[in-house]
Chain A
Amino acid sequence: MSRLYLARNPRVAARGLDGEMMIMSGRDSTLFTLNKTATILWQSADGTTPLDEIVEHRICQEFEVEPAEALHDAETLARELARHEILQISEEPIPQTAPALGGSR
């Protein structure tokens, strides 16, 4: 099975507000707030860590879920975030243009 890599779309704006992640789409300025799982995906989307490792080390640590089920749900969520141009997803590592720190703030 191929691995999936996630990177933040460099065109979005993002800020943590009271534990919630606020994201503004670079495409049409639509504002989103991310739930806990989506926030973990956003914070871990460095282009080099594969999704299964994010699920194993972050999501399964945070929530009591079966790894296989968690990976399936995380992949669905990642594809949804990519559809809104919040994340980029690829079966290859994604080079990042510059480190972004705003997501953890």
Chain B
Amino acid sequence: MKGLLEEMTEKALARNIPISVQVDLTYRCNERCVHCYLDHDDHGEMTTAEIKHLLDEMADAGVFILTLSGGEIFVRKDFFEILEYARRKLLFCVKLKTNAILIREREAARIRDLGVESIQISIYSHRPEVHDAITLVPGSLKRSLDGVRFLKSQGLRVVLANVLMVQNAQDYRGVRALAEELGVECTLDPTITPMMDGNRGVLSLGVGQNTLHDVFRDEALVGDVDEFCAIAAPADDSVLGALPCSASHTSCYVSPYGDVFPCVQFPLPTGNVRKQRFIDIWRHSDEMNDVRSIRLKDLTTCTSCTHVSSCSRCPGLAFMEGNMRGPSSQDCEKSFAKTGVPSANMLNKARTRTAANLVQIRALPTMAGAPA
């Protein structure tokens, strides 16, 4: 049976309504996480008035779920003015993403009064020496957990978001136990996003096959391991006609500078709300419509892949690899770790490597002068 939110999302899809939007209020941050994809300088953030105007336009466009994120949202001095406007005047369902370092009792009470739906807080480990070595801020785990407790004491819904990387690969069970002790939810994500400027150096922090293999077989995380790691049934027409994800279909992302993208993880510029109306970008941008046109059957490599119907392929990560209709290698690695079956992309790469090796063999001295 479909949930009501799913039904409303389908309705939004049919009417081309962006039901869910993430707005990053700033890229400035009071932490310096080693895996972060952002440049933390301020290159001209939207003013309070510009953000309120954008929120007005988004409400008119039918946006219901508004995620406010960053950077660190609480470094903006006008954060509560923006939040109050979004909740009291425009009645958005507001979700927050923060490190909670700046949340004390007073802030938690105000967040409760304003009726925020949930607060997602980045926690990388239950051990201060590991968490703080990732955020590069001594004492940050303690401050973040204090923030979690203040929010929880107000009866708010809190979700710990744990990004899995080489530094904390052994600690996800500890974070889950901590979440249980605090009475909050917990998510785990092994995806590392390339830097916004295209630098892929941070990807070296991603966990390897062995860790992914173990994580995907942890019953506490995935439930029925056999079902979770099963090879998907061959894709039929309905699967191949499906949408890759919600980006550009029912959701999008707006940067602190007013740039609109299909998703926070999909840096394809589609317009800027300082120059155009939000709804015009959403409806008429060529780039937005290009992303909107993609179906699984259009993917260059993935259509023929064993995993096409079960893969978590992110079109944004594929875009950052060079082709939004191509594969996303991180998701190929995940499918391989689950099933033990290499993806079509992995097989192609292996063939290319073999061919390249053959080409690189130096000619024997006796053949060097031979005619072609």
Interface residues of B (CB under 8 A from A): 3-5, 8, 11-12, 15, 17, 19, 59-60, 62-64, 84, 87-94, 115, 117-118, 157
Contacts and interface: CB of A to CB of B under 8 A. Distances in A.
A82 interface: no
B4 A17 contact: no
Interface of A: 10-18, 20, 22, 24, 26, 29, 31-33, 97-103, 105
Contacts of A24: 64, 93, 117
Given A13-B64, A100-B88, A31 B94 contact: no
Given A15-B92, A22-B64, A102-B91, 8 more contacts: A12-B91, A13-B64, A15-B64, A16-B62, A31-B5, A98-B89, A101-B59, A102-B90
Contacts, number: 73
B31 to A, nearest CB: 28
Nearest to B85: A98
B115 A10 contact: yes
User: Top 4 nearest A-B pairs by Cβ distance?
Assistant: A102-B91, A13-B93, A11-B115, A15-B64
A33 B109 CA distance: 29
Nearest to B63: A15
A26 B11 CA distance: 23
A22 B115 contact: no
Q: Which of B3, B4, B19 has the most CB of A within 10 A?
A: B4
6 contacts: A13-B91, A14-B91, A24-B117, A102-B91, A103-B91, A105-B90
B250 to A, nearest CB: 11
A100 B117 contact: no
A98 B64 contact: no
Contacts of A26: 115
Given A12-B115, A29-B117, A17 B88 contact: no
B88 A32 contact: no
Given A13-B94, A15-B62, A17-B62, A33 B88 contact: no
Contact of A17 (B3, B8, B90, B118): B8
Nearest to A101: B89
B279 to A, nearest CB: 12
A33 B4 contact: yes
